[in-house]
A and B are shown apart, each in its own frame.
Chain A
Amino acid sequence: MTELNEVTNEFIRGEIDEFVERPEERERMISMFAACRPDMLDIGAALIEGEDGVVDELTRAQLDAGTEALEVMDDGLIAGMALVGIKFRENFIFVPEVLACARAMKAGMAHIEPILSDAGIEPVGKVVMGTVKGDLHDIGKNLCIMMLRGAGFEVIDLGVDTSPDDFIDAVEEHRPLVMGMSALLTTTMPNMGKTIDAFVDADLREAVKIMVGGAPVTPEFAEDMGADGYGKDAMECVAIAKQLVGVGSGA
């Protein structure tokens, strides 16, 4: 078993020690960060602190020095975000802090995405995402999209206030494996069910796996509506999407 002192970055050691409480998760975090090079840990640490300027600078410097874009993304940005996800899930941090970390991740991904795209790396899968009809809140959806893209998915963002017809049109056009719907309001949650019903009516329900999420949405509500998956937060969204496309969750 890997020991905490094998993680070479003092800040990340402290974060694991203070915030990762579940034994199996702690073991996984220690083992993951212990396997990362110190330069990657510096990027991860800056991301966890929400320092977008530092992440931007370090990412660019690493890529200029010849480090593989995938290593920077996996061992720096995504590893850092995994710890952020745990802190968020356990209520050690809240949405403003997560937004700052997401901003930092975006700063790093701005350098990495063009390289991956030029290299022709195949996406893990394609996902269509939108906030349901009548709901103009998109923070949760945007965090999910960022994490999905970071995990290698191609994501088509339909934005906010997406009608059932717009979801259907997007699924017919893009043929994604997964469609994600988000709602922040209890008043708009029923529109998730209406959208799923519209897929049934259009004889398209079997064409796509549907996952749902949003602050007021619960697993029971998701099941009642006939959704294929429910994610409590952006980290779970990635895990569910991977399950639905048939690759290991890894989260």
Chain B
Amino acid sequence: MTSAQETMTSRERVLAALNGDPVDRTPVVNPTSIATVELMDMVDAPFPDANREPELMARLAECGHTELGFDSVMPVFSIIQDSSALGCKIQWEQKDNWPTVKMTEPIYDSADDIEYDIEALLAHPDTQCVTEAIRILRDRLGDDVAVIGKTMGPWSLAYHTFGVEPFLLLSLDDPEKTKEVLQRLKRITIDFGVMQVEAGADALTLPDHATGDLVSGEYYHRYLEELHQEFAEAIPAPLILHICGRTVDRMPYIANTGMAAFHYDSKNDPAESMEAVGGRIRLVGNVNNPETLFARGPEEVRAEVIQNLEAGVQMVGPECACPLQTPLENLRAIPETVREWHAIQESE
């Protein structure tokens, strides 16, 4: 199967798709992470060091384009860099496991506890590592490949700093205090995001885990919709909101935020999701990680990629950070299928 004629660079393709402009083919994007143990070994950039040393972080991220053929690279593999800088205890783990915030040892009990020096936070080695890795990638990849950064939203930061259970109970017991928590944390989202854009990031993923597995769509509307609108205005780059789980019930609200795209989970049907957002925000996704990319083969990956393409999803990629043992042939099947599908469309 020959590929369709490609007239854009990967970076042009991603930026055009994020902007809602025409593209030569659907971009293959990784807004979260496609780092695997195999790639770590290939370029000698293992976890946990690849989360803490800029050169290793950049080298592992670059594989997303050079080894797998994605149109973007994402150096922020985890969701803990800003929380680490904020003072959360981190379990850094080993090569075959993800670093995680120790949420059972929260650093805040109430909104009044939230105090941080934003300059110190942005100068912390774990946030600086990200901006330095972005600079390295920008320098190495030039204008050919889209470099995506990541800044955590205040809802996720609240999970990390209060613990998930205490924060969810607070959200029910005291909505005003909950809003105060989010207001006090939002500067981290904005300033860390702006710092990455200034370092050369083309776009940012903004994970804010108000997932349908935990809270209602109404919660998203009540607590986050306006804040996300504020982020879209304050951060001078296209934003890709990431929320795991079933999210169709909140997609109409998400579509109001002015963000460029929503990175959605395989629990949501592509066609139903496209209908829910009504063309007001682009979708990225949603190849299943644990059952398809990790445990099945390229044929099953192809089927899910095609389902997204046929639904008109604007950017295709894994639904979330993929398991570290994901076979590379399955990840490579994503861009291969996109090219084949477009070639068929063109020939018809």
Contact B324 A187 (CB under 8 A): yes
> Which of B97, B168, B245, B290 lies at the interface centre, i.e. has the most chain A CB atoms within 10 A of its CB?
B290
* Chain B residues with a Cβ closer than 8 Å to the other chain, count: 36
Question: Which chain B residues border A217 with CB–CB below 8 Å?
Answer: 290
The smallest C-beta distance from A82 to any residue of chain B, in angstroms, reads 21
What CA separation (Å) do A190 and B219 show in the bound complex? 31
Contact A95 B215 (CB under 8 A): yes
A216 interfacial by beta-carbon distance below 8 Å: yes
A134 interfacial by beta-carbon distance below 8 Å: yes
What CA separation (Å) do A218 and B323 show in the bound complex? 16
Of all chain A residues, the one with the shortest Cβ separation from B164 is: A139
Partner of B169, one of A103, A135, A185, A216: A103
Q: When each residue 126-143 of chain B gets 1 if its CB lies under 8 Å from chain A and 0 otherwise, what string results?
A: 000000000000000000
Residues from 214 to 229 in A contacting B, C-beta threshold 8 Å: 215-218, 220-221, 224
Question: Which chain A residues border B241 with CB–CB below 8 Å?
Answer: none
B102 interfacial by beta-carbon distance below 8 Å: yes
Partner of B219, one of A94, A160, A221: A94
Question: Which chain B residues border A100 with CB–CB below 8 Å?
Answer: 169, 172-173
> Which of B102, B164, B171, B319 lies at the interface centre, i.e. has the most chain A CB atoms within 10 A of its CB?
B164
Known: A190-B294, A216-B290, A221-B290. A94 touches B104 (CB 8 A): no
If over half of B's interface residues share one DSSP class (helix, strand or loop), that class is named, otherwise mixed; here it is: loop
A142 interfacial by beta-carbon distance below 8 Å: yes
What CA separation (Å) do A138 and B213 show in the bound complex? 14
Question: Which chain B residues border A218 with CB–CB below 8 Å?
Answer: 291
What CA separation (Å) do A133 and B164 show in the bound complex? 18
What CA separation (Å) do A189 and B321 show in the bound complex? 12
Contact A96 B215 (CB under 8 A): yes
Of all chain B residues, the one with the shortest Cβ separation from A191 is: B97
What CA separation (Å) do A217 and B294 show in the bound complex? 13
The smallest C-beta distance from A19 to any residue of chain B, in angstroms, reads 14
Partner of A136, one of B101, B211, B214, B245: B101
> Which of A100, A160, A190 lies at the interface centre, i.e. has the most chain B CB atoms within 10 A of its CB?
A190
Contact B323 A187 (CB under 8 A): yes
What CA separation (Å) do A220 and B295 show in the bound complex? 11
What CA separation (Å) do A139 and B323 show in the bound complex? 22
A13 interfacial by beta-carbon distance below 8 Å: no
Q: When each residue 158-175 of chain A gets 1 if its CB lies under 8 Å from chain B and 0 otherwise, what string results?
A: 001100000000000000
A50 interfacial by beta-carbon distance below 8 Å: yes
B98 interfacial by beta-carbon distance below 8 Å: yes
Partner of B98, one of A91, A187, A216: A187
Residues from 137 to 195 in B contacting A, C-beta threshold 8 Å: 164-165, 168-169, 171-173
Of all chain A residues, the one with the shortest Cβ separation from B78 is: A187
Known: A134-B100, A161-B91. A94 touches B215 (CB 8 A): yes
What CA separation (Å) do A132 and B164 show in the bound complex? 17
B322 interfacial by beta-carbon distance below 8 Å: yes
Question: Which chain B residues border A134 with CB–CB below 8 Å?
Answer: 93, 97-98, 100
Contact B104 A136 (CB under 8 A): yes
Residues from 108 to 146 in A contacting B, C-beta threshold 8 Å: 133-139, 142
B289 interfacial by beta-carbon distance below 8 Å: yes
Contact A142 B165 (CB under 8 A): yes
Partner of B325, one of A94, A160, A190, A215: A190
A188 interfacial by beta-carbon distance below 8 Å: yes
Residues from 272 to 305 in B contacting A, C-beta threshold 8 Å: 289-291, 294-295
What CA separation (Å) do A224 and B288 show in the bound complex? 15
Question: Which chain B residues border A71 with CB–CB below 8 Å?
Answer: none
Contact B98 A188 (CB under 8 A): yes
Partner of A96, one of B102, B169, B294, B319: B169
A157 interfacial by beta-carbon distance below 8 Å: no
Question: Which chain A residues border B216 with CB–CB below 8 Å?
Answer: 91, 94
The smallest C-beta distance from B186 to any residue of chain A, in angstroms, reads 21
B103 interfacial by beta-carbon distance below 8 Å: yes
What CA separation (Å) do A34 and B91 show in the bound complex? 51
Residues from 80 to 104 in A contacting B, C-beta threshold 8 Å: 91, 94-97, 99-100, 103
Contact B323 A189 (CB under 8 A): yes
Q: When each residue 87-113 of chain B gets 1 if its CB lies under 8 Å from chain A and 0 otherwise, what string results?
A: 000010100011011111000000000
Name 14 A/B residue pairs within 8 A (Cβ), A-sorted: A94-B215, A95-B213, A96-B168, A99-B168, A134-B93, A134-B100, A136-B91, A160-B104, A186-B322, A187-B289, A189-B294, A190-B294, A215-B213, A218-B291
The 10 closest A-B pairs by CB, nearest first: A215-B213, A96-B172, A134-B97, A186-B289, A96-B168, A189-B290, A95-B214, A186-B290, A94-B216, A94-B215
Instruction: List 20 extra interface pairs beyond A134-B98, A186-B289, CB under 8 A.
Output: A95-B214, A96-B168, A96-B214, A96-B215, A99-B168, A134-B93, A136-B104, A139-B168, A161-B100, A184-B213, A185-B98, A186-B290, A186-B321, A187-B289, A188-B98, A215-B213, A215-B245, A221-B290, A224-B291, A224-B295
